[in-house]
Amino acid sequence: MKVQPVTVFFDVNETLSDLSTVADAFEHVGAGRNLAAAWFATVLRDGFALTSAATEASFGKIARNNARDLLSKVDLDRSLENTVDTVLTAFATVGVHADVADGLWALHSAGHRLFTLSNGPTSTAERLLRDAGALDVFDDLLTVDGHSLWKPAPAAYLDAVSRTGTEGPTYLVAVHPWDIHGASTAGLSTVWINRQGTHYPDHFRPPTITVPALTELAQFDLSDLAHAATVAE
């Protein structure tokens, strides 16, 4: 099917990256796998809190401080600082989900402009995508650092659109409903990847498209769907 190219921004952490190896690291140091999800949730929580106070936030600083705080309450089999380093190293070396590389290449082959848009550093996305053999599909890798408040502040998405000279249909792809909501408030169309088959929370704006895997997205006429969503609003 012939489709008109659009611009697509991708969230990175959990949307492209598979954090299961971070849970492995928490289990390895004796902290338990479930603490990984709690830790990542606190990183987002504190970043959002700083954003709500119109204050810049450093993903790396929050991640280390919160890992140290949570792990200090656990009976560990090694020193606290060594444990924190182990966990953060695991986070810095995660791989992509199984559907990511093929899904990205399919979108690239369809002629779409692809960008990352993360609250974390671009170095994380660059390493992740290079290891997956998918770095070359992206026009650029973007972070909010030094440019805007964290997502889901609307300014984060609007700044990305401005920096990339984007015109016409524009999407954000994410697994996080809060990210979908933020992009929608900024006027972007959205794609929610629902790999777990969970229910989308109705207190957030709904996505334009929902797919179970990124490999399913290239089949859609994103230009037509974005126009339909704009008209409906």
Give the distance from CA 201 to its chain's centroid: 18
Residue 225, amino acid: L
Give the distance from CA 32 to its chain's centroid: 24
157, two tokens: 């998405």
Residue 204, amino acid: F
Q: Contact, 194 vs 200, CB < 8 A?
A: yes
Summary mean pLDDT of the chain: 93
Res. 1: pLDDT tops 90: no
Res. 230: pLDDT tops 60: no
Residue 2 has a pLDDT of: 61
Q: Contact, 184 vs 178, CB < 8 A?
A: no
Q: Contact, 220 vs 209, CB < 8 A?
A: yes
**Pick from 91, 93, 122: nearest CA to 10:** 122
What tens digit of pLDDT does each residue of 43-94 get?
999 999 999 999 989 999 999 999 999 999 998 878 999 999 999 999 999 9
Higher pLDDT, 136 or 228: 136
**Pick from 126, 175, 145, 156: nearest CA to 59:** 145
Task: Name the pairing type of β-strands 140-143 and 170-174.
Answer: unpaired
Residue 229 has a pLDDT of: 59
Res. 150: pLDDT tops 50: yes
What tens digit of pLDDT does each residue of 89-145 get?
999 999 999 999 999 999 999 999 999 999 999 999 999 999 999 999 999 999 999
What tens digit of pLDDT does each residue of 190-209 get?
999 999 999 999 999 999 99
Residue 226 has a pLDDT of: 72
Q: What is the pTM of this model?
A: 0.93
Higher pLDDT, 231 or 39: 39
Residue 77 has a pLDDT of: 77
Res. 3: pLDDT tops 90: no
Residue 231 has a pLDDT of: 40
What tens digit of pLDDT does each residue of 172-187 get?
999 999 999 999 999 9
Burial of 219 by CB count in 10 Å (0-12 exposed, 13-18 middle, 19+ buried)? Answer: exposed
pLDDT level of residue 233 (50, 70, 90 thresholds)? very low
The Cβ-side half-sphere exposure at 42, using a 13 Å CA radius, reads 15
pLDDT level of residue 223 (50, 70, 90 thresholds)? confident
Give the distance from CA 64 to its chain's centroid: 19
Burial of 55 by CB count in 10 Å (0-12 exposed, 13-18 middle, 19+ buried)? Answer: exposed
Residue 17, amino acid: S
Domains of the chain: 7-18+95-232 (3.40.50.1000), 20-92 (1.10.150.240)
For residues 165 and 147, give the distance between their C-alpha atoms in angstroms, rounded to a whole number. 15
**Pick from 115, 147, 130: nearest CA to 6:** 115
Helix, strand, coil percent content, the chain, rounded in steps of 5: 50, 15, 40
